[in-house]
Amino acid sequence: MKSIFLRSPAKINLCLKVLNKRPDGYHDLSTLFEKISLYDDLRFVLTSSGKIRIFCDHPSIPCGPKNLIYKAARMLQMDFGISQGVDIHLTKRIPVAAGLAGGSSNAASTLLGLNKLWHLHLPPKTLIAYAKRLGSDVPLFIYKYNFCIGTGRGDRIRKVRINKKLWHVIITPRLKVYSGEVFRAVKRKLTKRNDNANILTHELRKKDLRKVSQFLSNDLEAAIVRVHPQLRTIKNNIQRISGLDVCFSGSGPSIFGLVPTRKKAQVIAEKLGRHYAYVVVVRTL
């Protein structure tokens, strides 16, 4: 095998509860993740140069050591004495710094792809340990779960069995919002443990989507709009135009709503597309 192609999916947070601040400076979270049908494409090609090279024409993507793809590849190369190099071709479709974890997904795909291409035969447990070193959202994409609950920093993953494919409309304003600045803007003490993720899981299993929409929540919203106040107005406008209950994903700025059918999602997306440049219809993987 000299090359491998992988699709790298995005995620949304159907609910996100911020708990206490940890001694390491991070926050403990409880979140319900959903992987969605919005992808980046990654193609890995073996080379004899020993170099890790990233090719991407997206203007916001670094193609050197700052990229999580590079960091993931370099860790494996160094730890296992790999003399081969790899050219990594990234086709970017997931918006950058948008709360959809595109960079984390790319890093996880790199671990999975190079594990096969370099014949490392690393078990999932080892890949997850590498993923945790790269970032809090990276382990999610090592697991083959469409729905799961994340705890700890969001990096402890538990599968959730939900036999339902959800449709969403996602709007991403032209703003980059970085998770570090949002978490630094969290003001209130967040110590009360809450079972939002399990409550929402229960409602999803009952398949009453109107009720599910009422449970969409994100404790980071106040911090997101503190960093970028214009996002409050944008969210309110989206809610008014669409008629949906909408929510920020992760640390934002992407805003999503739950829609019962693909047809209705496309109608709403067309309305929103008259006002916002990036509007997509997605479903659960």
Band of residue 232 on the pLDDT scale cut at 50, 70, 90: very high
Predicted pLDDT at 273: 97
Catalytic, out of 11, 35, 92, 235: 11
All structural domains of the chain, each given as residue ranges with its CATH number in brackets, are 3-158 (3.30.230.10), 162-283 (3.30.70.890)
Predicted pLDDT at 26: 83
Q: What is the pLDDT of residues 154-184, one digit of tens each?
A: 999 999 999 889 999 999 999 989 998 999 8
Band of residue 31 on the pLDDT scale cut at 50, 70, 90: very high
Separation CA 208–CA 206 (nearest Å): 6
Catalytic, out of 28, 35, 40, 137: 137
Predicted pLDDT at 71: 98
Q: For every residue of the chain, which 3-state class applies, written as one string?
A: CCEEEEEEEEEEEEEEEEEEECCCCCEEEEEEEEEEEEEEEEEEEEECCCCEEEECCCCCCCCCCCCHHHHHHHHHHHHCCCCCEEEEEEECCCCCCCCCCHHHHHHHHHHHHHHHHCCCCCCHHHHHHHHHHHCCCCHHHCCCCCEEEEECCCCEEEECCCCCCCEEEEECCCCCCCHHHHHHCCCCCCCCCCCHHHHHHHHHHHCCHHHHHHCCEECCHHHHHHHCCHHHHHHHHHHHHHCCCEEECCCCCCEEEEECCHHHHHHHHHHHHCCCCCEEEEEEC
Residue 41 known to be catalytic: no
Q: What is the pLDDT of residues 192-212, one digit of tens each?
A: 556 678 889 988 888 778 888
pTM of structure: 0.94
**Looking at the predicted structure, is the pLDDT value of residue 189 above 70?**
no
What is the residue-averaged pLDDT of the chain? 94
Residue 137 known to be catalytic: yes
Predicted pLDDT at 22: 82
Task: Yes or no: say if 101 and 140 are a contact pair by the CB < 8 Å rule.
Answer: yes
Predicted pLDDT at 187: 81
Band of residue 21 on the pLDDT scale cut at 50, 70, 90: confident
Unique residue bearing structure tokens 């699709």: 7
Quick one: tokens of 26?
Answer: 């991070």
Q: Would you state the torsion angle of the CA atoms of residues 91, 93, 95, 97, taken in this order, to the nearest 10 degrees?
A: -30
Q: How long a stretch of residues is the chain? A: 285
Nearest to 226 by CA among 171, 177, 173: 177
Predicted pLDDT at 53: 98
